[in-house]
Amino acid sequence: MTDYPDLYLMIAGERVPAGPRDTHTVRNPATGEAIGELPLATAADLDRALEAAARGFARWRRSTPHERAAVLNGAARLMRERSEQIARIAVLEQGKTQAEARIEVAMNVGLFEFYAGEVFRLYGRALVRPEGFRSTVTHEPVGPVAAFAPWNFPIGNPGRKLGAPIAAGCSVIMKAAEETPASALAVLQCLYDAGLPGEVAQAVFGVPDIVSRHLLASPVIRKLSFTGSTVVGRHLARLAAEDFKRTTMELGGHGPVLVFADCDLERVLDTVVTHKYRNAGQVCVSPTRFIVEAPIFDAFRAGFTERAAALRVGPGLDPQSQVGPLANARRVEAIDALIARALADGAHLLTGGERLGNRGNFYLPTVLADTPLTSPIMNEEPFGPVALLNAYDDEAAMIAEANRLPYGLAAYAWTQDAARQKRLASAIETGMLGINTTMIGGADSPFGGVKWSGHGHEDGPEGVQACLVTKAVHEG
Ligand code: NAD
């Protein structure tokens, strides 16, 4: 038996248990074992959530910065106190290692604290006008937000989806992933326990397509915030467009990593291999296409493969594990199919390429070299523990490869040449670029992409601004 908590919907501050509702079975990805039954919202549940969100917005939009900051700071303090408990829940339902889950809690704490400060900086401006006239520009909360959070960061994604609307004075109905509901509920509970009124933030779960259609069809909802795949994002953006709802879309990527011959190779390898297999590669900013300058390709390939093969794959609750299982069985199937197709297309398998054991969703860290650009894995986000290593002759070819795909979320480059660093900063089409680092985010830094990776930002001042609308008032 595990110590996994009971599951419920959270509507208007009340826990709604399954009762007669259909349920979804939550499984531990390390064992395949059923650990919880999650109630799925009915249409009536969603209507109650919408009514509550409308009331919650009417109330919270008038809250003072001090009230919002007290809730966000209080929730941050509670999350820090409950860190071990919340991290354990995330490991049980998502699979990642405990160390990674603790980092996720800490990052969420940092974000809530940053937003708690940001609520005092939601400035407007006064325009220069003749005497007797006055014109002001102010920013107001956009309204109730429908927010959809995926399963890969079961703590951090809900934290982002809840924190920004609450800081901006909005209400929010969050549908976190059905695979990882308890982490999302634990984050929400910290906000409630810090004094957030129940109607301001709610959690529903259900059949995703039914929930999103229902919420986005309602005029109560004024903004959609979605993190997930480009395909689903495009579908939801179309639904939101019917009613001109604002959108923040954090979609897929296919992270290019440009490695030039003048880099510090050992440092690059020590950094990027760990970063690649973090969360078993199920990260939208994961480095995926390693675009390596030809003179160092052999050394890069050897060093990368050696490090990847040495990673310890195992259950997240085992402190020795460095890579946990994939979060769900369909990811194992998807990765397996992409790799099989790449090998059939002519890629070389350097390590991994198969499941580990027959219990749970474990997959070996995998390295492929010389994969043809036409193979699906070079074009679709693999979202798993696979690194793709290819050699290129010069900077121009490397930049062209980085920009070849319609995605533009995170990119990385390793070079000690200062002039080249500047050229890359300007040439690479991406929302976030790490030059000689994999640290591309932070509570104070905008997180988001361009092209098919979506639009709008989370985190940073931009994260709160994305939940505001602008009003100009002219008085004569
Ligand atoms: P998916 O595309 O079915 O779902 C992605 C997420 O969207 C899930 O959380 C799911 O619950 C939600 N979703 C799906 N259909 C929805 C709908 N109609 N309305 C509202 N929400 C809906 O894929 P998946 O198997 O869960 O994940 C695989 C792919 O999703 C990955 O290949 C990756 O591209 C993408 N993904 C991206 C992120 C990210 O951080 N950007 C996170 C998780 C998944």
* Statement: residue 203 has pLDDT above 50: yes
CA 131 to ligand 1 centroid distance, Å: 55
Mean pLDDT of 49-76: 98
Q: What is the mean pLDDT of the chain?
A: 97
Q: How confident is the model at residue 3 (pLDDT cuts 50, 70, 90)?
A: confident
Task: Cite the beta strand spans of 113-260 per DSSP E.
Answer: 125-127, 134-141, 145-149, 172-176, 201-203, 223-227, 246-250, 255-259
Provide the CATH number for the domain formed by 9-251+453-475 in this structure: 3.40.605.10
Residue type, 401: E
**Rama region for 357: left / alpha / beta (φ>0; ψ in -120 to 50; rest):** left
Predicted confidence (pLDDT) per residue in 33-48, tens digit: 999 999 999 999 999 9
CA 335 to ligand 1 centroid distance, Å: 15
Closest alpha carbon to 430 in 445, 446, 451, 444:
451
Name the residue at shortest CA distance from atom 33 of ligand 1.
Answer: 229
CA 402 to ligand 1 centroid distance, Å: 24
Question: Which two three-digit tokens encode residue 367?
Answer: 């390295």
CB atoms within 10 A of CB 142: 21
Cβ within 8 Å of residue 56, ≥6 positions away: 144, 171, 197, 198, 199, 200, 201, 202
Are β-strands 246-250 and 223-227 bridged in parallel, bridged antiparallel, or unpaired? Answer: parallel
Q: How confident is the model at residue 2 (pLDDT cuts 50, 70, 90)?
A: low
ipTM: 0.94
Residue pair 144/173 in contact (Cβ under 8 Å)? The answer is yes
The domain made up of 255-443 has a fold known as: Aldehyde Dehydrogenase; Chain A, domain 2 (3.40.309)
* Statement: residue 279 has pLDDT above 90: yes
d(CA 387, CA 365): 8
Distance set, CA 24 to CA 89, 332, 453 (Å): 17, 20, 29
Cβ–ligand 1 distance for 311 under 6 Å, the answer no
Q: In testing the pocket of ligand 1, which one of 209, 212, 229 has its CB within 8 Å of the most ligand atoms?
A: 229
Percent of the chain with pLDDT over 90: 99
What's the pLDDT score for residue 473?
Answer: 98
Predicted confidence (pLDDT) per residue in 138-194, tens digit: 999 999 999 999 999 999 999 999 999 999 999 999 999 999 999 999 999 999 999
Cβ–ligand 1 distance for 252 under 6 Å, the answer yes
Q: Of residues 434 and 358, which shows the higher confidence score?
A: 434
What's the pLDDT score for residue 1?
Answer: 46
Q: In terms of DSSP H, where are the helices of 83-155? A: 83-94, 98-118
* Statement: residue 384 has pLDDT above 70: yes
Kindly give the number of the ligand 1 atom that is closest to the alpha carbon of 230: 34
* Statement: residue 285 has pLDDT above 80: yes
* Statement: residue 81 has pLDDT above 50: yes
Identify any residues that bridge with 208 across adjacent strands, giving them in sequence order: none
Backbone angles phi, psi at 372, to 5 degrees: -60, 145
Domain coordinates in residue numbering, the chain: 9-251+453-475, 255-443
pTM for this one?
0.97
What's the pLDDT score for residue 117?
Answer: 98
Name the residue at shortest CA distance from atom 34 of ligand 1.
Answer: 229
